[in-house]
Amino acid sequence: MKPYQNTPISECNEPLVAIPDYILKINPHPYMTLGAPYGDRSPFFVRQGILERLQKSQAYLQTICPNYQIAIFDAYRPIPVQQFMVDYSFGQLAEIKGLEVKNLTEDQKNSLMAEVMKFWAIPSHDPKMPPPHSTGAAIDVTFLLVSDFGGDNIQEVNMGSPIDEISDRSLPNYFASFRNSQAVVFNRNRELLNEVMTYSGLKRHPHEWWHFSYGDQLWSWISNERYAVYGGVI
């Protein structure tokens, strides 16, 4: 159990809604490409209140950095997808470390899973502790640079590490103490992302520069709120 999962939930029953096409998305969707079992569900759905906050953040970004656009990497995530991605990340981490999953000792399995769970929520079916993305209240975002007014020249902004990387580079302030010019840019971009997302009340995950939420248990725990308003969406 993670500390925020003790937070009580007072579900507000706000609907899941589609993220409109005018909000940019990372396509093809990375988890669907891997074969994650979404079924007939779409990852590009959020609660109505989250969409409104996302729109507010995007409008604010345009006033301070017009060539940047918020881009959605991932949003709603059914629990089977959460489980799929935890298993996939476990296998990838083992491969990076030169280990074969089928030959792992119990200590190695526990050590690898501990690393994975620093960045991935528990794929719990318990309605009292849903994974943040399964509530429709969490979004993974980055920046896209739009270099011309027609929007044809678009490239992803380098934030210093890819989304979902299981390493200290994913920590929001990882580059804050570096003094080389590239690291300064990475940190500046991360701080800008945090500024525009928190402008609308969203809160950043303590371990992930890309993850923001409002109204779920993690948000409630970070914000010292008494309860969450978004529970799991089946």
For 185-200, the pLDDT digits (tens) are 999 999 999 999 999 9
pLDDT, residue 70, reads 98
- Could you tell me the two tokens for 124? 């719990």
Alpha-carbon distance 206 to 51, whole Å?
22
Alpha-carbon distance 131 to 231, whole Å?
9
Question: In the chain, which residues have pLDDT < 70?
Answer: 148-152
Catalytic residue among 14, 115, 208, 225: 208
Question: Which class in CATH covers the domain with range 3-223?
Answer: alpha beta
Write down the pTM of the prediction.
0.95
Residue 115 falls in the annotated catalytic set? no
Q: Which residues contact 21 (CB under 8 A, 6 or more apart)?
A: none
pLDDT, residue 92, reads 96
Full DSSP string of 107-144: HHHHHHHHHHTTTS------TTS--GGGGT-EEEEEEE
pLDDT, residue 1, reads 82
pLDDT, residue 153, reads 83
pLDDT, residue 234, reads 77
Alpha-carbon distance 13 to 144, whole Å?
32
* Through-space distance between the first and last CA atoms of the chain, rounded to whole angstroms: 21
Q: Torsion angle of alpha carbons 92, 170, 29, 140, nearest 10°?
A: 140
The Cβ of residue 202 has, within 10 Å, a number of other Cβ atoms equal to 24
Alpha-carbon distance 33 to 40, whole Å?
15
pLDDT, residue 98, reads 96
Q: Tell me the C-alpha to C-alpha distance, in Å, between residue 7 and each of 129, 130, 134.
A: 8, 11, 16
118-137 residue pLDDT tens: 999 999 999 999 999 999 99
Ordered by start, the domain boundaries in the chain are 3-223
Where do the H-state alpha helices sit in the chain? 30-34, 48-64, 79-96, 106-116, 181-198, 217-223
